[in-house]
């Protein structure tokens, strides 16, 4: 396993396990614990959550498993997110989905996540989505309080564009440590909008959610996905990949921004496939061939 040093005392495994669909995997508590241990055995130490995942259930499912073997906590980094309020049976007063990055909600959400995850602290707390109603002074106050209380070690954002990242950072006395972004061979927006370059500018490794395009590289029939799938198969044969998902992971891992793919699978074979992608090498020309297939035209 490769690791990325985010700060002097915080490093993430290059492959991150994502728990977005944990409630859909229908695992028992023992099976969830076994999956956590299998990830750790393969060097995956970083686990990605959010308060809303699984209709507010995934953190608790993970925490119940961790409670069976709390010693594992020292071997892992837990990331979670806050800032989205969903309509739910748990919250009948909510008429719509909306964002809430108020100081009150951030602190309440973080405290609830600690209870759900059965831990005294989270390693990184992210604001889940850019909030057009955000008061950055309130966010800063919440972050500072949580840090001083020892409940959150570091902070970051998710899905933030360059200006949104810069705006929040300007109000903080410490640096944000990551920006979790949708990045895949079929989703290039953050390359085009300069968000990846900003991460490089600040030496800030981005986390990549939906690195397989939400499964589009396997099954989607639109022209773009079909082009990309064909090119992944071609490049895969050249580099000795066992499957096209390995090629997609290698494409991300090859980039100098230290992109950290989030693998959201409950199947250890799929997780191992991502880990094994770390052993593959892709040339610059092959990387651009996949980019060209995604764009549908030669680079300018």
Give the active site residues. 53
Helix (H) or strand (E) segment spanning residue 11 = strand 10-13
Rounded CA-CA distance 219/131 in Å is 33
- The beta-carbon contacts of 199-203 under 8 Å, at least 24 apart in sequence, are 199/257, 200/256, 200/257, 202/175
- 14 secondary structure, DSSP code: S
Handedness of CA 5, 78, 152, 209 (dihedral sign): positive
Task: Judge whether 56 and 88 are in contact, CB under 8 Å.
Answer: yes
Question: DSSP string of 85-107?
Answer: E--BTTBTT--S-EE---HHHHH
Rounded CA-CA distance 134/146 in Å is 18
């Amino acid at each position: 396993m490769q690791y990325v040093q985010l700060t002097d005392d915080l490093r993430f495994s290059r492959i991150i396990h994502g728990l977005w669909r944990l409630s859909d995997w229908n695992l028992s508590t023992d099976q969830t614990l076994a999956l956590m241990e299998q990830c750790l055995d393969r060097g995956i130490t970083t686990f990605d959550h959010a308060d809303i995942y699984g209709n507010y259930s995934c953190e608790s499912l993970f925490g119940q498993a961790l409670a069976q073997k709390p010693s594992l906590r020292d071997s892992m980094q837990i990331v979670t997110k806050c800032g989205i309020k969903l309509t739910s049976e748990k919250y009948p007063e909510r008429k719509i989905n909306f964002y809430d990055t108020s100081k009150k909600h951030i602190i309440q959400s973080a405290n609830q996540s600690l209870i759900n995850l059965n831990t005294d602290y989270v390693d990184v707390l992210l604001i889940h989505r850019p909030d057009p109603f955000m008061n950055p002074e309130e966010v800063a106050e919440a972050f500072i309080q949580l840090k001083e209380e020892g409940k959150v070690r570091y902070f970051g954002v998710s899905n933030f564009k360059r200006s949104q990242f810069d705006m929040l950072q300007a109000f903080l006395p410490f640096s944000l440590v990551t920006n979790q972004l949708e990045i895949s061979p079929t989703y290039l927006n953050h390359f085009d909008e300069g968000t990846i370059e900003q991460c490089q500018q600040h030496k800030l490794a981005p986390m990549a959610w939906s690195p397989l395009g939400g499964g589009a590289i396997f099954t989607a029939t639109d022209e773009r996905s079909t082009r990309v799938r064909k090119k992944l198969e071609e490049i895969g044969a050249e580099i000795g990949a066992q499957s096209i998902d390995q090629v997609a992971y290698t494409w991300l891992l090859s980039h100098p921004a230290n992109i950290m793919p989030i693998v959201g699978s409950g199947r250890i074979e799929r997780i191992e496939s991502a880990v094994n992608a770390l052993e593959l090498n892709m040339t610059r020309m092959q990387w651009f061939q996949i980019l060209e297939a995604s764009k549908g035209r030669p680079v300018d």
